[in-house]
């Protein structure tokens, strides 16, 4: 008999663990309840659902925390009682995202709960310190009880908010609820038998401007996914987002949690070096990533200006070690952008090295040499630039950072002076030609 009892108890517990739960009024919050939650940037799978599921979100990494506080109407603003009577609780809520543009603050939604439903019956906010209570024309039933797997319901809602000396905000919509899954959800906070609720709000928000007699309306469709468990007061996991023209954009991911200290944000330092910063158009330059710390899966993107270059040896701008040939002389600026995935929150880094690589024609096309007597002054220059060499300067050319020749002077003396006022401020490469060859010199016009 004892063995049979143990077996029966085991089977009973086993059957309970696989049983569907039911969400009722008892699982909803009450005045003075609080519920802590954590937010995350991790992806949460919203597409997989059905019966007897296991949703494993145990690897969620938090990036912040908050507390839902369920208050009485009197504690929010005693004047609201005149509009809503006594409802069950109030909670901060951005019912009208566009309100922020009108400098409206302290938005609250006011809830009533019964054995049959939980609905939003009132809205309150402040406009320039003036209370704006508004009772729903048609309350928004966010839950209808009992919530069980397979339940579907539809409800309409409507709200009008009058703003003194300005106009009216109007929200009208339908809510389509579908309990489309049941099973177990696992988070860093624990493991819970749950129901999965998908709530789609097909809504239009409009604003009527009294002075103009015009009404502006915009669609504001939203989809919320909630994993609901007994006794937790708020969803164990919740994903909210906007649905515009069939494209779903997540705006918030959060889960029921206890107190935690969010980890410090992960940062990366983008850095690189070239194996040579002075080269000719015949040379191959290696751009070597030196970003720290190294994280597997990091992506890279080089950007080089001007665009007179090509990637070689099978590399491109996304290689950690990129190989580049330059096709024209000039001063080249190189940037590196990196994205390192970690903890579900990609860390980005950027660095730019201005006029980092100096490119000249190769020896043989135009002989390069070093004239120790070459003088260029003043540098930086804003007006008259003077160039002196040990032998006559036959040609002098300025090349901008795009590789364009913007000024050329021919001469047969050892000293050349000319105005640069007509040129844009920036860094230039000056090519000095004498009977002995060519020499490149960097100058700055400011």
Structural domain of residue 49, as residue ranges? 18-256
286 within 8 A of 323, measured Cβ to Cβ: yes
Specify if 89 maps to a domain. Answer: yes
pLDDT of residue 316: 92
pLDDT of residue 98: 53
pLDDT of residue 190: 96
pLDDT band at 102 (very low <50, low <70, confident <90, very high): low
183 within 8 A of 53, measured Cβ to Cβ: yes
Same domain (yes/no): 23, 160? yes
Question: Which is more confident, 12 or 163?
Answer: 163
Same domain (yes/no): 229, 314? no
Q: What is the mean pLDDT of residues 427-441?
A: 81
| Domain termination site, one of 360, 392, 413 | 360
- Lowest-pLDDT range of 9-23, 107-121, 336-350, 408-422: 9-23
Residue range 214-237, pLDDT digits in tens: 777 788 899 999 999 999 999 999
Residue 420 has pLDDT above 70, yes or no: yes
Q: What is the CATH number of the domain that holds 316?
A: 2.60.40.1080
For residue 435, what is the enclosing H or E element? none
Residue 8 has pLDDT above 70, yes or no: no
Residue 154 has pLDDT above 90, yes or no: yes
Closest CA to 344 of 175, 148, 188: 188
Same domain (yes/no): 422, 397? yes
Same domain (yes/no): 310, 345? yes
pLDDT of residue 369: 57
Give pairs for 289-293: CB < 8 Å, separation 24+.
Answer: 289/320, 289/321, 289/336, 289/338, 291/336, 291/338, 291/349, 292/268, 293/268
Q: How far apart are CA 182 and CA 193, in angstroms?
A: 8
Same domain (yes/no): 234, 115? yes
Q: What is the mean pLDDT of residues 84-106?
A: 72
pLDDT of residue 366: 42
C-alpha dist (Å) from residue 40 to 45, 187, 239, 397: 13, 12, 10, 57
Same domain (yes/no): 385, 347? no
| Domain termination site, one of 335, 360, 385 | 360
Q: How far apart are CA 401 and CA 379, in angstroms?
A: 17
pLDDT of residue 370: 66
pLDDT of residue 343: 52
pTM above threshold 0.85 = no
- Lowest-pLDDT range of 101-115, 281-295, 360-374, 379-393: 360-374
Locate 225 and state its tokens: 């996914």
Specify if 43 maps to a domain. Answer: yes
Residue 7 has pLDDT above 60, yes or no: no
Q: How far apart are CA 142 and CA 252, in angstroms?
A: 18
Q: Is 321 helix (H, G, I), strand (E, B) or coil?
A: strand
Same domain (yes/no): 351, 425? no
C-alpha dist (Å) from residue 113 to 120, 163, 213, 331, 370: 9, 28, 38, 70, 87
Q: How far apart are CA 77 and CA 110, in angstroms?
A: 12
Specify if 266 maps to a domain. Answer: no
pLDDT band at 262 (very low <50, low <70, confident <90, very high): confident
Q: How far apart are CA 50 and CA 56, in angstroms?
A: 14
Q: How far apart are CA 108 and CA 79, in angstroms?
A: 13
Question: Which is more confident, 443 or 33?
Answer: 33
pLDDT band at 287 (very low <50, low <70, confident <90, very high): very high
Q: What is the mean pLDDT of residues 371-389?
A: 87
Number of structural domains the chain divides into: 3
238 within 8 A of 38, measured Cβ to Cβ: no
Q: What is the mean pLDDT of residues 311-331?
A: 90
pLDDT band at 345 (very low <50, low <70, confident <90, very high): low
């Amino acid at each position: 008999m004892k063995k049979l009892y143990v077996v029966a108890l085991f089977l009973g517990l086993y059957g309970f663990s696989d049983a569907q739960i039911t969400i009722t009024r008892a699982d909803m919050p009450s005045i003075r309840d609080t519920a802590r939650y954590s937010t995350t940037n991790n992806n949460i799978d919203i597409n997989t659902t059905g019966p007897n599921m296991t949703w494993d979100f145990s690897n969620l990494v938090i990036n912040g925390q908050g507390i839902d506080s369920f208050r009485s109407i009197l504690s929010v603003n005693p004047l609201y009682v005149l509009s809503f009577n006594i409802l069950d609780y109030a909670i901060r809520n951005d019912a009208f995202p566009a309100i922020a543009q009108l400098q409206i603050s302290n938005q609250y939604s006011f809830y009533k709960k019964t054995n049959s439903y939980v609905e939003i019956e009132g809205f309150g906010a402040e406009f320039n310190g003036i209370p704006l209570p508004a009772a729903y024309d048609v309350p928004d039933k966010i839950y209808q009880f009992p919530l069980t797997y397979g339940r579907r319901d539809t409800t309409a809602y409507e709200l009008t908010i009058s703003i003194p000396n300005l106009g009216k905000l109007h929200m009208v919509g339908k809510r389509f609820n579908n309990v489309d899954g049941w099973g177990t959800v696992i988070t860093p906070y624990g493991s819970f038998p749950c129901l999965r609720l998908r709530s789609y709000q097909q809504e239009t928000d409009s604003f009527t401007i009294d002075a103009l007699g015009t009404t502006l309306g915009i669609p504001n469709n939203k989809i919320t996914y909630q994993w609901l468990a007994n006794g937790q007061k708020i969803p164990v996991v919740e994903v909210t987002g906007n649905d515009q023209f069939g494209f779903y954009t997540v705006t918030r991911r959060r889960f029921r949690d206890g107190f935690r200290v969010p980890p410090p944000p992960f940062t990366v330092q983008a850095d690189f070096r070239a194996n040579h910063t002075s080269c000719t158009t015949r040379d191959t330059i290696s751009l070597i990533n030196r970003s720290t710390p190294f994280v597997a899966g990091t992506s890279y993107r080089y950007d080089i200006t001007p665009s007179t270059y090509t990637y070689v040896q099978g590399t491109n701008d996304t290689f950690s070690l990129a190989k580049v040939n330059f096709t024209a002389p000039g001063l080249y600026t190189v940037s590196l952008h990196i994205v390192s995935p970690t903890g579900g929150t990609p860390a980005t880094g950027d660095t730019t090295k201005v006029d980092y690589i100096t490119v000249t024609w190769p020896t043989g096309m135009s002989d390069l040499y070093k004239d120790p007597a070459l003088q260029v002054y003043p540098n930086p220059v804003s007006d008259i630039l003077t160039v002196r060499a040990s032998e006559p300067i036959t040609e002098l050319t300025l090349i901008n950072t795009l590789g364009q020749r913007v000024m050329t002077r021919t001469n047969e003396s050892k000293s050349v002076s000319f105005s640069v006022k007509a040129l844009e401020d920036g860094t230039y490469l000056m090519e000095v030609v004498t009977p002995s060859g060519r020499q490149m010199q960097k100058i700055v016009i400011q």
